[in-house]
Amino acid sequence: MTATVRMVPLQKIKPRDGFNPRADFDGERMAELVESVRQHGIITPLTLAPDGDGFVIVAGERRYRAAKQAKLKEVPAQVRDGDGDALTLAVAENVIRADLTPVEEAEAYRRLVAEHGDTARVARLVGRSEKLIRERLDLLGLPDEARTLVGSRRVPLACAPMLLRIAEAEPLLADLVAVWLAEHPAGCAGFPVDPGPVVDDVLEAEWQDDGGQPLTPVAYSISGYYGPLLPGGRSRGGQLPRILAKLGAHAAAVERAYAELPAIPQKEGEYDWQARQAKERRERECFALADEDADAARAYGCLLELPDPDGRGDHRYVTDPEWLAARLVDKIKAHAAAESERKQREREPRRPTAAQDDGAKQARREQREREYKARVAARARNLDLGVALARWQPKVDTDAVRLLGSLVLIHYGKAAAWAQRLCVEQPTTTSKQGKVTVRYPRGAQAEKQLHDEATARLLRARTPEDALAVVLRLLLAQRLVDTDGLPGADRQGIYEPQELAGSKVLAKLAKRVAPPSVKQHLAEREAERERREQAWRDEQQAKLAEQRAKLAAGEAVRCACCFQLIGSPGDAAEKHGSLVHRGDCEQQWGNAYDEPDDPEEEPQR
Helices (H), 392-484: 398-420, 443-460, 464-480
Exposure letters 72-105 (e unless 16+ CB within 10 A, then b): beebebbbbeebebbbbbbbbbbbeeeebbbbbb
Instruction: Tell me which of 28, 32, 35, 61 is the catalytic residue.
Output: 61
Look up the pTM and report it.
Answer: 0.49
Helices (H), 269-353: 273-287, 291-300, 321-347
CA 581, chain centre distance (Å): 57
* Residues contacting residue 576 through CB under 8 Å, at least 6 positions apart: 589, 590, 593
The pLDDT of residue 600 is 47
* Residues contacting residue 150 through CB under 8 Å, at least 6 positions apart: 102, 103, 139, 142, 157, 159, 160, 163, 178
The pLDDT of residue 604 is 44
Distance CA 426, CA 43 (A): 61
Q: Decide: 221 and 317 in contact? Cβ < 8 Å.
A: yes
Backbone φ/ψ region at 117: left (φ over 0), alpha (ψ -120 to 50), beta? left
* Residue closest to 475 by CA, chosen among 397, 396, 415, 522: 415
Distance CA 54, CA 9 (A): 9
* Residue closest to 61 by CA, chosen among 53, 51, 69: 69
* Residue closest to 475 by CA, chosen among 423, 403, 398, 529: 423
Q: Is 499 a catalytic residue?
A: no
The pLDDT of residue 323 is 93
Q: Decide: 150 and 139 in contact? Cβ < 8 Å.
A: yes
Q: Decide: 412 and 471 in contact? Cβ < 8 Å.
A: no
Distance CA 289, CA 134 (A): 37
The pLDDT of residue 181 is 93
The pLDDT of residue 70 is 84
* Domains of the chain (ranges, CATH numbers): 2-159 (3.90.1530.30), 220-262+276-345 (no CATH), 398-428+435-514 (no CATH), 524-592 (no CATH)
Helices (H), 353-426: 354-391, 398-420
pLDDT means per 10 residues in the chain (605 residues)?
A: 73 71 62 80 80 80 83 84 53 53 79 76 78 85 89 88 91 92 90 90 89 88 79 72 89 90 78 80 87 90 87 83 93 90 75 64 89 91 86 83 84 78 82 81 76 87 88 85 71 70 85 88 88 90 88 88 87 85 84 51 43
